[in-house]
Amino acid sequence: MKTRVAAAAAAALIAAAAPAWADLQPGAKAPDFQAQAYMAGKPFTYQLSNALKKGPVVVYFFPSAHTKGCNIEARLFSEAIEQFKAQKATVIGVTAGKVAELAEFSKEGEHCAGKFPVAADPGAKIAKQYDTRLQMAGVKMPGELSGRTSYVIAPDGKVVFAYSDLAPNDHVTKTLDAVTAWRAKHP
């Protein structure tokens, strides 16, 4: 009996640590959205369809501002923003967590550093459209937090890359690689 319990616990830990695949897959039409956003602490209304007129967009969902993994991910995106710009791509972070803190989060040097916008998603309405909600052990958790999922969306509104993993470290590298590959085919 103890062996079965230990095996089940180990399986649950492995499942929780494994990447979850985004439900909105490459080739799918990305839902357009409008949201209250912040860039360097200043509020504005973000519209995905307007951003797509300028080139590909990286839309990355994160669970909550001012949490360990989300802080790391925001800092990594801010450090790589010039590489995205070199590919004529823009980045936006979207979260349902701690939306009252997004203005500060968007300008703080250890996070976004004013280099890209973050959008508030009260009630996780946008995350639900993208079917990216927080998962643990492969089970979507109740509540209103998005998962950690990154999408690259081409100017035609189609998803060209999707990646979900609660670990924040690879999202920037993987989305930058996807943007670079897309740009190579669409100079």
pLDDT tens digits for range 15-36: 333 344 457 899 999 999 999 9
Looking at residue 58, its pLDDT comes to: 98
How much helix, strand and coil, in percent to the nearest 5, is found in the chain? 40, 25, 35
Q: What is the pTM of this model?
A: 0.85
pLDDT at 140: 52
pLDDT lower than 70: segments of the chain: 1-22, 133-143
Q: Check residue 106 and give its pLDDT.
A: 98
Q: Give the model confidence (pLDDT) of 155-181 as tens digits.
A: 999 999 999 998 999 999 999 999 999
- Distance between CA 90 and CA 5 in Å, rounded? 47
What domains are defined for the chain?
2-185 (3.40.30.10)
CA distance 83 to 80: 5
Q: What is the pLDDT of residue 146?
A: 82
pLDDT for 2: 42
